[in-house]
Amino acid sequence: MPRLTADARHRVRFELNGRAVEADAEPRMLLTDFLRYELGMTGTHVGCEHGVCGACTVQIDGVPARACLTLAVQADGAKIRTVEGLAPAPGRLSVLQEAFRRHHALQCGFCTAGILMSLDYYLRHRPHPDEAKLREYLGGHLCRCTGYAPILAAAIDAAEKLREAPANA
């Protein structure tokens, strides 16, 4: 039974956006801080830090989850995907990201990374999303700039483009 002591830093290893990564964390370190401060991956934002705002949403073992409600040590051995893993190549945006740009689905961008990680999962599993379900799903995120309408429009547009050419996700 591994016991990680409170006052020491312990090695945490997981797969991040398809690459093996490792760094040290105290047991109390949240996954948000581990990603940002230990791994330098600052695309994941920290908003409310108690699970309400959705800004820190990442994908853990393939499903969207709050990085601020996960300890780094709990993520040991997991597969994590963050906003940095969405673009298919440097300088290119994913279909969903492109739709966000086209529809002005972000202004300050603080909430965007989390919303992208949720919608990326949702559109993969529901290629024909209806607007009511999308609204409910977006209820897990707070955006104080857009009023959500352009985000919905971007999601619906992206779903359509993904149905035409799913390989471009």
Partner 1 sequence: MKPVRFDYIRAGTLAEAHAALTTGGDDARIIAGGQSLVPMLSMRMARPTVLVDIMHLPELAKIEVKRNVIRVGAGVRQAALLAWPELAERQPLLAAALPWVGHAQIRSRGTVCGSIAHADPSAEIPLALLVLKGAVELSSQRNRRRVVAEEFFTGLMSTARKDDELIEAIEIPCSTAGHGYAFNEFARRHGDFAIVACAAIARKDGVRLAIGGVADCPIARDFPNIDGDALDDALDYFAADLEARDDLHATADYRRALVRRLGRATIEEARRCRA
Q: Using CB under 8 A, list all residues that contact partner 1.
A: 1-7, 26-28, 30, 33, 49-51, 54, 57, 60, 63-66, 68-71, 73-74, 76, 118, 136-137, 139-141
At position 103, the amino acid (one-letter code) is H
Judged by beta carbon, residue 54 or residue 85, the one nearer partner 1 is: 54
Judged by beta carbon, residue 20 or residue 132, the one nearer partner 1 is: 132
The nearest distance, CB 17 to partner 1, in angstroms, is 19
The nearest distance, CB 169 to partner 1, in angstroms, is 20
Judged by beta carbon, residue 42 or residue 104, the one nearer partner 1 is: 42
The nearest distance, CB 4 to partner 1, in angstroms, is 4
Using alpha carbons, list the distances in angstroms from residue 105 to 97, 131, 132, 142. Answer: 9, 16, 18, 13
At position 54, the amino acid (one-letter code) is G
- The C-alpha atoms of residue 35 and residue 57 are separated, in whole angstroms, by 12
Judged by beta carbon, residue 6 or residue 165, the one nearer partner 1 is: 6
Tell me if 140 sits within 8 A of 114, measured CB to CB.
no
Cα–Cα nearest to 114, from 92, 81, 159, 158? 81
Q: Is 16 helix (H, G, I), strand (E, B) or coil?
A: strand
